[in-house]
């Protein structure tokens, strides 16, 4: 049983890919968030943007994890960027469960050149402990592997300090 949890939401598969790589590298438990909303295709893309801009949230289905969130040494949260914000699914999850997380790290995936560091601050609003490591990955970018490895280095440093 791992004491590291990688929990994420992914609409297109980019965030899922990143979180699978991180979980495999760290021997972490992996869990996916869902809110039961059809976000596929171009209509889903528009719905995602509107939900982000309006800061809409819907209940997130319970994630199947081996233990309560507060018992993990580190929780790595993965989300795509929607309209310059964290996904509505992640916002809802953190609003309901962020206070339970003792140590957090963030993985955001994006399609544009902007690094969207303000998304970390948005997530910190619902995670009182804040984050200890973070990375912004752009799908298809030549820097993906470099920044992913840098993030893993940061995470290992955080874990060694505990």
CATH of the domain at 106: 3.40.50.360
8 beta partners: 32, 78
- Looking at residue 57, its pLDDT comes to 72
**% residues pLDDT > 70 (the chain):** 96
Mean predicted confidence (pLDDT) in 113-118: 79
Distance between CA 63 and CA 47 in Å, rounded?
A: 23
Q: Which residue has the higher pLDDT, 38 or 142?
A: 142
Distance between CA 95 and CA 132 in Å, rounded?
A: 19
19 within 8 A of 78, measured Cβ to Cβ: yes
Work out the pLDDT band at 145, boundaries 50, 70, 90.
Answer: very high
User: For the chain, how many structural domains are there in total?
Assistant: 1
Mean predicted confidence (pLDDT) in 70-82: 95
- Looking at residue 7, its pLDDT comes to 98
Domain enclosing residue 94, as ranges: 4-160
Q: Which residue has the higher pLDDT, 109 or 11?
A: 109
Q: Which residue has the higher pLDDT, 122 or 58?
A: 122
Q: Is the pLDDT of residue 35 over 90?
A: no
In three-state form (DSSP H/G/I as H, E/B as E, the rest C), the secondary structure along the chain is CCCEEEEECCCCCHHHHHHHHHHHHHCCEEEECCCCCCCCHHHHHHHHHHHHHHCCCCCCCCCCCCCCHHHCCEEEEEEEEECCEECHHHHHHHHHHHHHCCCEEEEEEECCCCCCCHHHHHHHCCCCCCEEEEEEEECCCCCHHHHHHHHHHHHHHHHHCC
**% residues pLDDT > 90 (the chain):** 64
Work out the pLDDT band at 94, boundaries 50, 70, 90.
Answer: very high
């Amino acid at each position: 049983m791992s004491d590291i949890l990688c929990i994420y939401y992914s609409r297109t598969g980019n965030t899922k890919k990143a979180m699978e790589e991180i979980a495999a590298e760290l021997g972490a438990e992996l869990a996916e968030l869902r809110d039961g909303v059809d976000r596929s295709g171009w209509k889903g893309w528009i719905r995602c943007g509107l939900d982000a801009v309006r800061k809409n949230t819907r209940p997130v289905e319970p994630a199947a994890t081996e233990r309560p969130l507060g018992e993990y040494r580190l929780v790595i949260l993965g989300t795509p960027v929607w309209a310059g914000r964290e996904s509505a699914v992640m916002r809802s999850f953190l609003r309901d469960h962020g206070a339970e997380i003792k140590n957090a790290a963030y993985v955001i995936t994006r399609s544009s050149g902007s690094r969207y560091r303000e998304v970390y601050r948005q997530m910190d609003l619902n995670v009182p402990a804040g984050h200890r490591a973070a990375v912004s990955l752009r799908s298809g970018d030549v820097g993906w592997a470099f920044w992913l490895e840098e993030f893993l280095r940061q995470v290992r440093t955080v874990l060694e300090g505990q």
